[in-house]
Amino acid sequence: MEVALHPLRLKQLFHLAVASKPHFLHGKIRPLFIVRCSSSSSSAAGTAVVGGGRNRRAPSSATSTSDREAVRAIRIKKVQELRGKGLDPYAYQWERTHTANQLQEIYRNLGNGEELTSESDHVSIAGRIVARRAFGKLAFFTLRDDSGTIQLYCEKEKLLNDQFEHLKTLVDIGDILGARGSIKRTEKGELSVCVTSFSILTKSLLPLPDKYHGLTDIDKRYRQRYVDMIANPEVADIFRKRAKIISEIRKTVESAGFVEVETPVLQGAAGGAEARPFITYHNSLGQDLYLRIATELHLKRMLVGGFEKVYEIGRIFRNEGLSTRHNPEFTTIEMYEAYSDYESMMNMTEEIITRCALAVNGKLTLDYQGVEISLERPWRRETMHNLVKEATGIDFTKFGDDLTAAKEVALQSLDTGRDNQNRSSIEACPSVGHLLNEVFELAVESQLLQPTFVLDYPVEVSPLAKPHRRHAGLTERFELFVCGREMANAFSELTDPLDQRERLEEQVRQHKKKNAAMVSEASDTDDKNKDVDDGAYEVTLDEDFLTALEYGMPPASGLGLGIDRLVMLLTNSASIRDVIAFPVLKTQQ
Amino acid sequence: MASAKSRPQGKKAAAAEDEGMDPTQYYENRLKALAAQKAAGINPYPHKFECKLTIPEYVKKYESLNSGDHLEDVEERIAGRLMNKRSSSSKLFFYDLHGGGAKVQVMADARKSDLDEEEFTRFHSSVKRGDIVGIIGFPGKSKRGELSIFPKTFIVLSHCLHMMPRQKIGPGSENTKTTDVWVPGSARNPEAYILKDQETRYRQRYLDLMLNMEVREIFKTRSKIISYIRHFLDEQDFIEVETPMMNMIAGGAAARPFVTHHNELNMRLYMRIAPELYLKELVVGGLERVYEIGKQFRNEGIDLTHNPEFTTCEFYMAFADYDDLMKLTEDMLSGMVKELTGGYKIKYHANGLENDPIEIDFTPPFRRIDMIGELEKLANLNIPKDLASEEANKYLVDACLKFDIKCPPPQTTARLLDKLVGHFLEETCTNPTFIINHPEIMSPLAKWHRSKPGLTERFELFINKHEVCNAYTELNDPVVQRQRFADQLKDRQSGDDEAMALDETFCTALEYGLPPTGGWGLGIDRFTMLLTDSQNIKEVLLFPAMKPQDEPTSKESNKKTQDGPPSQELEKVSLQS
């Protein structure tokens, strides 16, 4: 509801100095000279100056607590003042006819200085005031909505009664305003709504960050994402792109006939990957539950049940540390297709990612943190053995099962003499397959900048993948790497329930061994309990899943794709925190 | 193995051969057969089978053949699960091949096979009901008009090692299941399912899906409902976002949360009970139309309408109010029902399967009833205007006594009102009905009504007496919001653990200015129940939470009473608020 403004008399809370030369704001270009925060303008002393000077900025920092509290107090007074006049500082609704961007489009060809006043050019818009400059009988505001920005051109004589005074005294940067008026392009070329009436829709109580580049405090950007988004409109664009990417993924797989399903987050056993799960407790069941670490085992049950193409886009949880690539909860798509194998999943992966790139960037080349990436198909497909051989000269095929010999060669060739961590991780490998994978991670991974499918992983590190139809000891599995990062993981799915059981039991055995090692290590240290608690967690067999396989799962391929990482790649974001609206952060000190 | 293979091949012998066998023995035999194949160097689990058509595509392509037609020159490749096996001689085997919700007959004739006669017989005696097979052969129809495929090559792709629950077959095998297709909005009868046992159906959903053809349609309907909502909102420029499922505070609703722990951060985290507060923060940030479809988690009892995790859609629309949202709700839900069912009216077994289904009419506009006004009218009450007063509380305690409506302590005014509304108003809401203008004390996140003091601009949509939607003009005055949280705290201290906790980050966000916004929540599971004639939420969840097996029930009930009020009341609070 628009609230009609009544005539009123109010004392000005502050004066507005008239600048000698008005500066007009330029549409899309972010204004460089705007006083961001109205703390100065609202100071009770009534002496502060708003607008005008290009570099004029309140000397005091708006983020200092006292200043912030002062602003808050003044604005709460304004709220009361508005109410005193019968105006609602928190309106109920606003009918708008256009978004800012629609107007910029429609009136693209309007000449400088031209004005349109016919009925059809009367528009209504709404958004947040992000800049303001006021003079004697003229005031300019920049209004930003979801789509972009537009200038409000406010002349005293065009407004009823003392609405102009309201604009100058009661409207602050940060307020949400609805405005109606005609269309005009200023002499300086700025498309504007020539305001004939307006209404404060929401009075803001806190000043926006005064530094133009928004928040320098990175931690605060993530903690108060909404401030980040107000101060840096491009941040909101990342989340728009994220939505578009997910939508494009859905379109792509649905056009291929995949059906979306939802499988449980809370599970009796956390399977489908090797990761520490979160544990919770269900009161009325009186039972511990795990948060899923993958959707794989339940989606495969769907294949057993006769769904031939299924997918799920959803949240996965892993109780692990934070980094620029890790958040405890993250989003993946997993998809499974009956009667197909990993070759066809490679094509599907290419299809999904290229379509997403085209949807958000309109092209297949992109810059990621200074590296130019080409997503032109086909992407390189190479076996892990060959990639390792290429990078290190080591031919792992010749070792057979001779782990000792393989380790010796690996240690020599990687020159791990100085790097204790690499050395010990190589020495810890329990099999040649593990070792091959380890050498791959150390020597190859980071170099795979252009999209590369790494094929045929050792069976020891691939407990859910089907044995390779031609190469013993390997599986039909690929991972996709771009910019040195794993983006996707897929295999021809293991369908043999007996083989599956053996592999999962082996995984549990290995895990227990590791735990035991950790316990004995920990017993040497003082802080025994803590270490054990940090390192060890239980891994259990998902018996239900194994039973499902015994009823017969069709030959199938499956793919898991990390959506956060894909969004990072396509939006050139350095950290996963830039693509998750509310990332998990360490507790504030 | 030998015993399973070398039985005499009389008529119907194949179907009967394992009939009486002990399931463990059956399983052992199958394992031996597999081991024998592996020992012989045969991979019993091939990597891939190239299908040219899915079974529904095959049916569509060839259903118009005439009886007796055989297209011997055509080669088709299809795959699926064998759900029935018969033989009329050692040279002729019949199977039902199921896949993609359809079935086709496989007529394996030794004369058409690549195998010689002896191999053919040996091979087909080893094929079991439940096996997944790929078939390369030609299409045709039997003399009796049954669409079939005549295999030249017949490959077992995956083995069913267990005895399938027995398919109950009437006289002849041409049972009518394929013609009798269930569509959303029509009545269902799970009592007539081949696999009826609920425990098995829910715990081993894959068996349910294999044996009860209708079940896959339920989950397809669920997927279509979600997809419809998504398209509807995308069309109106909403963007889909994802907000955290783990938080430091569980806000946005009043319910007992799940607690977990992040090891490395040594941090206690709660599973979200509603995404509301985060979504509103995004609107503050300038995303004017956002929605999220996702799981919520509530640590409450399990019953016919409650599962610990459930799916909601919430959306927030800047510059809109609850009137706009009522219109939008009518458009969305009636449009969806029309698209999925072909009309506005659906059948639902509201009074159990033993009674006739009722009809629910989604023709817009939906009825609107004013909560307090209608309650006063129906119960002949005159509730004191100041609902926050002691007087009002006393009045409602008396009213509940008078009508013998139970309200377990704490008897806060909000809870008493909720009981009365449940008794008098919700009972009248069979067709979609908006109950509107809830009191402030029941709606801490809703904006005060623009013209009715003490009330809010809120609506709940009830269908078949259950709440399906909850929405309001959002409270965006930070000072009032803090006050409401403070009032909630009072209720909390009086023992109402449904009262909401203060979220400081959210209040600060409001201080930066939330535009006038309408917010909305829909329970997707409950809506799916309506369109699939499901009386139990487990019918619409692929893998519902189940009590641990072999757990003594006495322990269960003890636990429950310790935890607090029974779940029905906990959930009552609503989907969203």
Task: Report yes or no on A185 lying in a domain.
Answer: yes
| pLDDT at residue B318, as a whole number | 97
| pLDDT at residue B96, as a whole number | 95
Contact assessment for residue B128 and residue B18, using Cβ atoms and an 8 Å cutoff: yes
Same domain for A334 and A202:
no
What are the pLDDT digits (tens) for A232-242? 888 999 999 99
Same domain for A77 and A213:
yes
Neighbours of A587 (CB within 10 A): 9
> The whole model's pTM is what?
0.88
pLDDT above 90: residue B126: yes
* Count of structural domains, chain A: 4
| pLDDT at residue A29, as a whole number | 35
Helix axes A543-550, A497-523, angle to 10 degrees: 160
**CA proximity to B92, closest of B178, B14, B170, B175:** B14
The residue type of B446 is A
Same domain for A88 and A200:
yes
Which stretches does DSSP call E strand in A9-168? 115-116, 123-134, 138-145, 148-155
Contact assessment for residue B98 and residue B79, using Cβ atoms and an 8 Å cutoff: no
Q: Which residues make Cβ contacts (< 8 Å) with residue B530, sequence separation at least 6?
A: B346, B348, B360, B463, B464, B468
Between chain A and chain B, how many beta carbons pairs sit less than 8 Å apart? 334
Taking CB atoms and an 8 Å limit, are B478 and A146 in contact across chains?
no
Q: pLDDT band for position A64 (50/70/90)?
A: low
Q: Is the Cβ of B26 closer than 8 Å to some Cβ of chain A?
A: no
Q: Which residues pair with B262 in a beta bridge?
A: B267
Question: Three-state SS across A92-129?
Answer: CCCCCCCCHHHHHHHCCCCCCCCEECCHHHCEEEEEEE
What are the backbone angles phi and psi of residue B258, rounded to the nearest 5°?
-80, 145
**CA proximity to B422, closest of B574, B577, B252, B576:** B574
Which residue range(s) make up the domain with A424? 385-447
| pLDDT at residue B497, as a whole number | 64
Contact assessment for residue A441 and residue A435, using Cβ atoms and an 8 Å cutoff: no
Mean pLDDT of chain A: 85
Instruction: Show which of A229, A256, A274 is a domain's final residue.
Output: A229
CATH number at residue A241: 3.30.930.10
| pLDDT at residue A215, as a whole number | 59
Taking CB atoms and an 8 Å limit, are A339 and B48 in contact across chains?
yes
For chain A, the C-alpha Rg in angstroms (whole number) is: 31
pLDDT above 60: residue B560: no
Same domain for A369 and A489:
yes
Task: Report yes or no on A476 lying in a domain.
Answer: yes
How large a percentage of chain A has pLDDT more than 90? Answer: 68
| pLDDT at residue B88, as a whole number | 87
Rounded CA gap, A266 and A285, in Å? 12
| pLDDT at residue B181, as a whole number | 79
Taking CB atoms and an 8 Å limit, are B301 and A284 in contact across chains?
yes
Same domain for A309 and A236:
yes
The ipTM, to two decimals, is 0.89
What is the three-class DSSP state of B421?
Answer: helix
Which stretches does DSSP call E strand in B49-131? 76-89, 92-99, 102-109
Same domain for A505 and A482:
no
Contact assessment for residue B405 and residue B427, using Cβ atoms and an 8 Å cutoff: no
Per mean pLDDT, which of A536-545, B179-188, B241-250 is the most reliable?
Answer: B241-250
| pLDDT at residue B566, as a whole number | 34
CA B573 distance to own-chain centroid:
21
> Pick the residue with more confidence: B7 or B460?
B460
Q: Is the Cβ of B515 closer than 8 Å to some Cβ of chain A?
A: yes
Task: Report yes or no on A576 lying in a domain.
Answer: yes
The residue type of B321 is D
Taking CB atoms and an 8 Å limit, are B158 and A495 in contact across chains?
yes
**CA proximity to A426, closest of A413, B541, A146:** A413
Instruction: Write out the H or E segment, with its range, that includes residue B369.
Output: strand B367-370
Taking CB atoms and an 8 Å limit, are B243 and A322 in contact across chains?
no
Best residue of A146, A176, A261, A284 to probe chain B, by most B CBs closer than 10 Å = A284
**CA proximity to B318, closest of A34, A219, A202:** A202
- Options 2.40.50.140, 3.40.50.10190, 2.60.120.380, 3.40.50.300; CATH for B2-178 is 2.40.50.140
Rounded CA gap, A341 and A346, in Å? 9
Task: Report yes or no on A6 lying in a domain.
Answer: no
| pLDDT at residue B171, as a whole number | 43
Structure tokens at A505: 């039991």
pLDDT above 60: residue B556: no
Q: Is the Cβ of B402 closer than 8 Å to some Cβ of chain A?
A: no
Mean pLDDT of chain B: 88
Same domain for A214 and A147:
yes
Contact assessment for residue A419 and residue A390, using Cβ atoms and an 8 Å cutoff: no
What are the pLDDT digits (tens) for B482-495? 998 888 887 777 77
What are the pLDDT digits (tens) for B416-443? 999 999 999 999 999 999 999 999 989 9
Summarize the confidence of residues B86-92 as an average pLDDT.
Answer: 91
Taking CB atoms and an 8 Å limit, are A201 and B269 in contact across chains?
no
Taking CB atoms and an 8 Å limit, are A329 and B246 in contact across chains?
yes
Taking CB atoms and an 8 Å limit, are A227 and B512 in contact across chains?
yes
Task: Report yes or no on A135 lying in a domain.
Answer: yes
Task: Report yes or no on A103 lying in a domain.
Answer: yes
| Long-range interactions of A362-366: CB distance < 8 A, separation 24+ | A366/A569, A366/A570, A366/A572
Taking CB atoms and an 8 Å limit, are B265 and A263 in contact across chains?
no
Q: Where are the domains of chain B?
A: 2-178, 217-235+301-546
pLDDT above 60: residue B368: yes
Neighbours of A401 (CB within 10 A): 10
What are the respective helix, strand and coil percentages of chain B, to the nearest 5?
A: 35, 25, 40
Same domain for A206 and A260:
no
Same domain for A363 and A392:
no
Q: Which residues make Cβ contacts (< 8 Å) with residue B116, sequence separation at least 6?
A: none
Contact assessment for residue A333 and residue A313, using Cβ atoms and an 8 Å cutoff: yes
| pLDDT at residue B485, as a whole number | 87
Q: pLDDT band for position A588 (50/70/90)?
A: low
* Shortest distance, CA A284 to any CA of chain B (angstroms): 5
Neighbours of B161 (CB within 10 A): 23
Count how many residues are written for chain A: 589
Summarize the confidence of residues B268-284 as an average pLDDT.
Answer: 95
* Shortest distance, CA B93 to any CA of chain A (angstroms): 21
Cis peptide before B365 (omega within 30 of 0): yes
* CATH 3.40.1190.20 corresponds to the domain B217-235+301-546: no
Q: Is the Cβ of B523 closer than 8 Å to some Cβ of chain A?
A: no
Same domain for A179 and A125:
yes
pLDDT above 70: residue A40: no
Structure tokens at B324: 């706009």
CA distances for A197 relative to A7, A25, A160, B53, angstroms: 13, 21, 7, 64
Task: Report yes or no on A169 lying in a domain.
Answer: yes
| pLDDT at residue A516, as a whole number | 83
Contact assessment for residue B53 and residue B77, using Cβ atoms and an 8 Å cutoff: yes
Q: pLDDT band for position A540 (50/70/90)?
A: confident
Query: Of chain B residues 558-577, which have a CB less than 8 A from chain A?
Result: 559-560, 563, 567
How large a percentage of chain A has pLDDT more than 70? Answer: 84
B489-B490-B496 Cα angle (round to 5): 80
CA distances for B96 relative to B78, B107, B149, B182, B440, angstroms: 13, 9, 10, 20, 61
Same domain for A238 and A218:
no
Q: pLDDT band for position B550 (50/70/90)?
A: low
Per mean pLDDT, which of A440-449, A503-512, A520-529, B556-565 is the most reliable?
Answer: A440-449
Same domain for A345 and A245:
yes
Q: Which residues of A touch B477 (CB under 8 A)?
A: 89-90
pLDDT above 80: residue A38: no
The residue type of B478 is P
Q: Which residues of A touch B543 (CB under 8 A)?
A: 263-264, 298, 301
Question: Three-state SS across A489-544?
Answer: EEEEECCCHHHHHHHHHHHHHHHHHHHHHHHHHHHCCCCHHHHHHHHCCCCCCCHH
What are the pLDDT digits (tens) for B36-64? 999 999 999 999 899 999 999 999 999 99
Neighbours of B455 (CB within 10 A): 24
Instruction: Write out the H or E segment, with its range, that includes residue B205.
Output: helix B205-211
CA distances for A94 relative to A97, B94, B129, B323, angstroms: 10, 68, 64, 12
pLDDT above 60: residue A7: no
Helix axes A432-443, A384-392, angle to 10 degrees: 60
Neighbours of B202 (CB within 10 A): 18
Q: pLDDT band for position B333 (50/70/90)?
A: very high
Instruction: Write out the H or E segment, with its range, that includes residue A565.
Output: helix A563-570
Task: Report yes or no on A543 lying in a domain.
Answer: no
Summarize the confidence of residues A476-490 as an average pLDDT.
Answer: 97
* Closest residue of chain B to A319, computed from CA coordinates: B262
What are the pLDDT digits (tens) for A173-225? 999 999 999 999 999 999 999 999 999 999 999 988 765 445 567 777 888 88
What are the respective helix, strand and coil percentages of chain A, to the nearest 5?
A: 35, 20, 40
